[in-house]
Amino acid sequence: MRTLKMKIAYRGTKYHGFQRQPNAVTVQAELEKQLSRVLNGPTVVYGCSRTDTGVHANEFVLHLHTEREIRCRNLVRALNGYLPDDISVLACEDAPASFHARFDCKGKEYLYLIHNHESKNPFRTDLAFHYRRPLDVDLIREAGQAVVGTNDFHSFCAQATAETNCIRTIFGFSAERFGDAVELRISGDGFLYNMVRIFVGTLLDINEGVFPPDAMPQILAAKDRLAAGRTAMAHGLYLNRVFY
C-alpha cells in the first residue's frame, strides 16, 4: 500500500468548502470521484484543513492510500484531465506510510486579498473582496502586529465555548499594497473557525474608526466574540501555504 502526498489548488467559488458534506458540492467529493475513476476503485483523501464555502486555496495538501503502481507524474496528468477547471493538482509524491496531511502539519499561511478601489474589477469577481473606502495599510499593519505570538483567540472564533482551547501561536502578519490590491498575510501553527475572517474584519473596522488603532490587545483580552469586529467575506480568503 502506497501513501501519496498531493498538493492542489482550487477556486472555491462553486464549492461548499473542501470537506465532504451530504447534499453539497465540495472539493473533496470532486477529487475522490475523479481519483476513484483514475485508480479504478473507491479512493478517500485526507485534507490538511477545512475551508469555508467560497474560500480558495493556492496550496492545499492532502494524502491518500492506493495499491496502484501508477507513476506520480502520470497520476497528476490523468487527474487534471478529468477535474473541472477550478481544481488543479500541482504535485504528487510518495510519502512515508505514517504521513498524515492534517496531523503532521506544522503551520499554515493565509492570504486575504482586497480590491481597494471605488469601482469593481470584473477580473477579480469572487477572487478578492471589493472595499471602496480608503484603506490605511500602515494603520492595519501596525494594528495587526498585536496578535503575533501566543494568545487566546476566543474573541476571533465564531463557535468557541468556554471549554474550547483557543490558544494559538501566530508567527507573523503583513499588509502590503500593490496598486489597487492590498494583500494581508497571516501565518501560524493553527487557526480557529472563521478566525482569519474575523481578524480581517476587525482590522477593517479599525480602519473605519469603529475601534481605536490600539484596540487589538483589549479585544484579545475580552475572550468574547462580541468584542471583535465583523466577519470579512469568504471570497477574499486563500489558504496560501502549508508547512511541514
Residue 216 · residue 147 · CB < 8 Å: yes
**CA 165 – CA 101 distance, rounded (Å):** 22
Active site residue 136: no
Query: Within the chain, where are the H helices?
Result: 27-38, 72-82, 137-144, 195-207, 216-222
CB atoms within 10 A of CB 201: 20
Helix, strand, coil percentages in the chain from 3-state DSSP, rounded to 5: 25, 30, 40
Marked catalytic residue, from 52, 104, 138, 180: 52
Q: Which amino acid is at 140?
A: I
By annotation, the residues acting in catalysis are: 52
